[in-house]
Structures are given as structure tokens and as C-alpha cells.
Chains A and B, each alone.
Chain A
Amino acid sequence: MYQKVLENETLNIFQELLALPNPTSREEKVAARIREFADSWGYESEQDFAGNVLVRVKGCRKSNRVVMTASHMDEIGLVVTGINKDGSLRVHKLGGMLPWKIGERPVEILTDIGDTITGVTSFGAGHSQVGKIEITWERMRVLTGYAPEKLKELGVRVGSLAVPAMNFRGPTVFGDPEDPTIGAWIYDNRLGCAFQLSVLKKLSEEKQKPSCDWIFAFPKQEEVKGNGIKPLAIREQPDVLIAVDGGTIFRGLDIALDQGPVIKSKDKLADMHFDVILELQKAAKRANLNPEYSVTDVAYTDASLALQAGGPMRVGNIGYTKGNSHGYEVVKYSMLIKFFKFLYEVVTGFTP
């Protein structure tokens, strides 16, 4: 029933990336997979000392500026703040995780010895939680089934990170077969990485070049203050930095899942550059798409974070329309097609 979804190139790449745990600052596995993809198509990927991955692609010099598109590799999760005598773990958010979104489910805890162990998030006995209660991180623990001494041996400590277990991440395809809905824990932002990779693949297959010298960047640590993109953008000093991320349907916006893609105009930290917005509009027009526009004061992206640190001269942000941000996120199948076309037009036609 959903065959066309399962055959989609971007989704196939995404699924491979989704199968790897990559909480902020522990993106090593997904970074290695991204480099394998890029190198297998004839590129020479690089990884800086911080761990950010980048692929430089020579442009056809319609402009002598350098553009960087960036989709961060990391995902939100949990961080261990303490180990109880019974071997359960006290936890807090890593990035923008919310306790009611993760709920009770199996998680993988990343250890210091390169492995993961399984645990389950727990709020305790539900019978006692009727009525008005506050849902905070203090109520949650991760049950491990191990004693504290064994956890130490296994390399679990305060600061260890956890993300939902691989079997419980999806993707899940459902809804109207004409334009199915696809859910997963979570797109943000391995789907952006998958879009960049599928554009790189097409450029290689069709021997096409970007409009100018282009850096496809896959930064670490966006979810905690953009601590990957900042040193990267300062060293590379792109003229334009465009974040390729989710086009979140923020409260109050009139965007539906089947609309977009999204051009962000303003976020919590920065106004996107007007000339970049106009260039993105042109790319959308060439792809026969009707973009939606977004403003928000509750989120930021790698672009606006990098601008805070002075890396790029101009910033922009394009997003694949998605719901349920920071949880079991949902996109429409048609968005996979539309956003790929859009990004390809941006890369091949953007003239800074």
C-alpha cells in the first residue's frame, strides 16, 4: 500500500541514519555513516577536530561567494544526573526533550566503553498519579536492571546520554495512500542530513555542479546551543549559511502538513537575510513550489546560532514541513519529494 514511500531515496538514507544513536556530543556513528555515503559517491568528505563533517563541492562559479548548507547530525535525548542505590538512573533533558513526549519506553544508554545498554524510562506506579500533578524530570528515572557497581563496570556514569531504543524509532507509514504520513522518533535533523546526502548523490550521478563553491556541512551539537556550527562557521567563514532543518509548525502558524516547504523569516535569535529569502523564493519558483513562511520566538537554528558567533555574513533557513517537533515527528510523503526538489534548485541555482 505504501510502496512508493519505501522506495524513496531520501527516506532510505534517513532510515539508515535513524538506526544509530546520536545524542548531542556523541554523534560518532552517524558521522561515520554520513562520510561513507558521501565518499561512496566520489566525494572526499572531511571531519574537523570538533567532529563536524563537511563535503566541499566546487561550483560553476556563477558567483565567487561560498555557500554553506548545514543539517545537524545530533538528536535530543536524556542525560544521567545521578545513580540511585537500586541502579535506577536520575535523568534530565539533553536539548529540548520533554518528559511527556518521551513517555515510558525503552532507551539506549551510551556508555564510555563504546557500547549501549538498554533501560526503560519510568514515572513509577500510575495508580498514584491521578489528579493534578506536576510532570517534571524529577519524576522520571531510567530503570536499568543493574546494580550501581555493575553500571560503573559497564561505563555508565553521571553525564552518560540516552535516546529512545532503535526498535522504537520507526519510521511508521500511515494514513491516506495517496499522500501517506510518515512518523519517526525523530527527524530533527537526520532527515535534513538525508536530504543533503540525496542531493549530493544526484549531483554526482548527473555530473552537476552547485552555482558557486558549496560546503555541505553536517555539524554536531546543534541541540545544545549550536556548539558544532559555531567553530565550523568561524573557520570556514561562508558568505551565506543556510540551515536545512525541519519546518516546524509552531503554534499560531497557519501551515498544514501538506503545505510548504517552509522558508523561515525570523527566529528567536536572528532575522534571516532578506536577499537570501528572495533567492530562496526564486528557487521555490523554479521548482514550481509554493513556500510557506515562518516566524518564531521559541526556537533557533544552526544559522542564527552561527550568526551570533560571527561566522557567516548572511543567513537563511529552509525547512521540510513537520509536526510534533521534539517527539514522534510527522511529515507527509509529498514533502520528501517537494523538499528534495527545492534543495536541489537552491544548490544549483542560488546566486549570492
Chain B
Amino acid sequence: MYEKVYENETFKIFTDLISVPSPTAREELVAKKIRDYIDGWGYHSEQDYAGNVLVRVPGSGKSDKLVMTASHMDEIGLVVTGINPDGTLRVHKLGGMLPWKIGERPVEILTDKRDTITGVVSFGTGHSQVGRTEITWDQVKIVTGLTPQQLKEKGVRVGSPAVPASEFRGPTVFGDEDDPMIGAVNYDDRMGCAFQLSILKALKKDGIQPNCDWIFAFPKQEEVKGNGIKPLALREQPDVLITIDGGPIFPDSDITWDGGCVVTTKDKLADYSFEVILAFQAAARAVGQDLQYCVTDVAYTDASLALQSGGPLQIGCIGYTADGAHGYELMKHSMLDQYFELFYSLIKTYIP
């Protein structure tokens, strides 16, 4: 019934990327998948000593500036803060995870042996929680079915991260067949990575060069203070850094599912460069699309984080419209085509 979704190139790549865990600081599996895609299409991917992945695509020379687009590889999750005598794990958030969003479900705990073990998130007996409304991490534990000694032998310790188990991540396709809804735990930001990868594939296939040298970057650790992009942007010093990430539908914003892709003009950390916003507008006009605009004081992106440490000179952020940020995130099928088209148009039209 939803064949057109399953045949979409970006969707297929995304589905592959979310099949492996990639919590902040443990992005090695998704990094390898990303490099395999890139190298498979005839590019030469690189990985810096921090673990960030990048691919340099030479421009046609219409501008001598350097542009970097960045979609972070890491995802939010849980981090082990203690091990109880019964082998259950005390946990806290990794990045912006919220206990009521993850709910009770199986998770994969990443071990020091570079594999995973399964556990189940638990709030304890539900019968005792009637009337409660304040939910904190202190109420959450992970049941492992192992003793503390067995956990130690398997390489689980304070600091081990965990994410929802792969079979419970989706994607789930549902709703109106004309424009279905797609849900998954969570897009942020392997969907951005999938968009960058499908653009790279199209550039190669179509023999198109950007107007200037371009770095497609896949940084680590965005969800914890952008600690991947900061050293990367300082070393590469792009003139323009553009974040490729979700455009969340914040409460009380006018953003709608079908109103267009989302340009962030201001976030918690920075105002985005006016010239870059105008470039987004030109790219949208070229393909007959409308844009939506977002200002927020509750979120940041790799671009505004990198600007804090002085890496880029100008920044921008263009987002695929999505709801349910930091949970089972949702977007419309039409956004897959729309965002790809806009991003491709940006590469063709942008002369910084």
C-alpha cells in the first residue's frame, strides 16, 4: 500500500542507518555504514581522529569559498549511572532524552566489548503509580536479567550508553496513502545523514559539481554540546556551515506538516547569517517551494554550536519538517522528495 515510500532512496538509506545503535560518543557502527555508502559511489571518505566522517567534493570554481553541510551521526539515549545489587541499571539521559518519551521498551546497552546486550526500561509496578504526574530519571531503571558480576564480564559499567532496541525503532508507515506519515525512533539526525548521502549519490550520477568546494560532514556528538563539529569546524574552517537536521514543529509555532521545509533564523545560541537565509530562499524559488521559518530558545544545532567556538564565518540551518522531536519522530512522505529537491537546488544555486 505504501510502495512509493519503501522505494524512496533516502528512506532506504535511512532505514539502513537506524538499524544500528549510534548514541553520542559511540557512533562507530553508523560511521562505518556512512563511509561504505560514500566510497561505494566512487568518493573518498575520510574520518578524523575524533571520529567525524567527511567527504570533500571539489567545486566548479564559481566561488573560492568553502561550504560545509553537516548532519550529525549520533542519537540521544540513556547512560548508565549505577549498577544495583539485583543487576538492574540506574540511568540518566544522554542528550535530550525524556523518560516519558522512551517509555517501557527493550533497549540495547553498548558494552566495552563493542557489542550490545538487551535490557528493558522499567518504571516499576504500574499499580503503585496512579496519581503521579512528575516523572524523573530516578524512577527509571533498566532490567538486564544479569548479575552485577555478569554485567562486568560483559563490559557494562557506569557510563555505558543504551538506545531503543533496533527492532523497535521503525520506520512505521501509516495514514493517508496519498501522503503517508513515516515514524521512527528517531530521525535526529540519521535522516539528515540519509539526505546528504542520497544527494552525494545523485551528484555522482548526474555529474554535477557544486559552485564551490564543499565538505559533506557527518559529525559525532551533536547531542551533547556539539563536541564533534567543534574540532572539525575549527580545523576545516569552512566559510559557511549549514546544518542539515530536523525542523521540529515547536508548540505555538505556525509550522505545519505541509507548509514547506524549515529555515531556522535564530536559536538558543545564535542568529543565523542573513546571506545564508537568502540563499535558502533562492534555492526554494528555483524549485517552486515555499519555506517556513523557525525561531527557538530551546534548541541549538551543530552550526550554532560551532559558531560558539569560532569555526565557521557564516552559518545556516535548513530542516526537514518533523514532529515528536526526541521521541518517535514523524514526517510526511512528501517531505522526503521536497527536502531532497530543495537541498539539491541549494547545491546547484548557491554561490557564497
Contacts and interface: CB of A to CB of B under 8 A. Distances in A.
A237 interface: no
Nearest to B128: A251
Contacts of B328: 103-106, 120-122
A143 B175 CA distance: 9
B100 interface: yes
Contact of A105 (B105, B145, B250): B105
The residue among A144, A174, A180 with the most chain B CB atoms within 10 A of its own CB is: A174
B327 A126 contact: yes
A183 B141 CA distance: 14
Interface in A163-190: 165, 167-168, 170, 172-176, 179-181, 183, 185
B159 interface: no
Interface string B280-308: 00000000000000001011000000000
Interface stretch (A128-136, A203-211, A280-288, A337-345): A128-136
Contact of B127 (A100, A127, A175, A325): A325
Given A125-B250, A125-B325, A127-B325, A100 B106 contact: no
Contacts of B180: 145
Nearest to A122: B324
Contacts of B181: 120, 143-145
A172 B106 contact: yes
Interface residues of A, number: 64
Contacts of B165: 172
B101 to A, nearest CB: 5
Interface in B135-191: 135, 143-147, 150, 165, 167-168, 170, 172, 174-176, 179-181, 183, 185
A293 to B, nearest CB: 16
Given A175-B145, A327-B104, A130 B298 contact: yes
A125 B249 contact: yes
Indicate the size class of the contact surface on chain B: 35 or more
B96 A126 contact: yes
Interface string A308-338: 0000000000000001111110101000000
B104 A324 contact: yes
B121 interface: yes
B120 A330 contact: yes
A274 interface: no
A120 B172 contact: yes
A150 interface: yes
Given A135-B135, A145-B176, A328-B106, A98 B123 contact: yes
B21 to A, nearest CB: 15
Contacts of A120: 172, 174, 181, 183, 324, 328, 330
Contacts of A117: 174
Given A122-B324, A124-B251, A250 B183 contact: no
Nearest to B182: A145
Contacts of B144: 174-175, 181
Contact of A103 (B104, B120, B172): B104
A261 interface: no
A249 B106 CA distance: 20
Chain A residues touching B, majority SS: loop
A135 B250 contact: no
A347 to B, nearest CB: 27
A146 B101 CA distance: 23
Contact of A174 (B98, B103, B117, B168): B117
A176 B146 contact: yes
A4 interface: no
A326 B126 contact: yes
The residue among A100, A101, A147, A165 with the most chain B CB atoms within 10 A of its own CB is: A100
B146 A175 contact: yes
A100 B103 CA distance: 5
Interface in A89-133: 96, 98-106, 117-130, 132
A119 B296 CA distance: 28
A100 B135 contact: yes
Contact of B250 (A128, A165, A180): A128
Contacts of B176: 145-147, 150
Given A125-B248, A125-B251, A146-B175, A324 B143 contact: yes
A69 interface: no
A50 interface: no
Given A96-B127, A174-B120, A330-B122, A256 B251 contact: no
B6 to A, nearest CB: 15
A175 to B, nearest CB: 2
Interface of B: 86, 96, 98-106, 117-130, 132-135, 143-147, 150, 165, 167-168, 170, 172, 174-176, 179-181, 183, 185, 248-251, 296, 298-299, 323-328, 330, 332
Given A123-B98, A124-B323, A324-B124, 17 more contacts: A100-B135, A101-B104, A103-B104, A106-B170, A122-B330, A125-B325, A126-B98, A126-B325, A134-B133, A135-B135, A143-B323, A145-B181, A174-B119, A181-B144, A323-B124, A326-B126, A328-B105
Interface of A: 96, 98-106, 117-130, 132, 134-136, 143-147, 150, 165, 167-168, 170, 172-176, 179-181, 183, 185, 248-251, 256, 296, 298-299, 323-328, 330, 332
8 contacts: A101-B126, A105-B105, A127-B250, A135-B133, A168-B105, A324-B126, A326-B126, A328-B105
9 closest A-B pairs by beta carbon, nearest first, are A145-B175, A175-B145, A103-B103, A326-B126, A126-B326, A181-B145, A145-B181, A118-B174, A174-B118
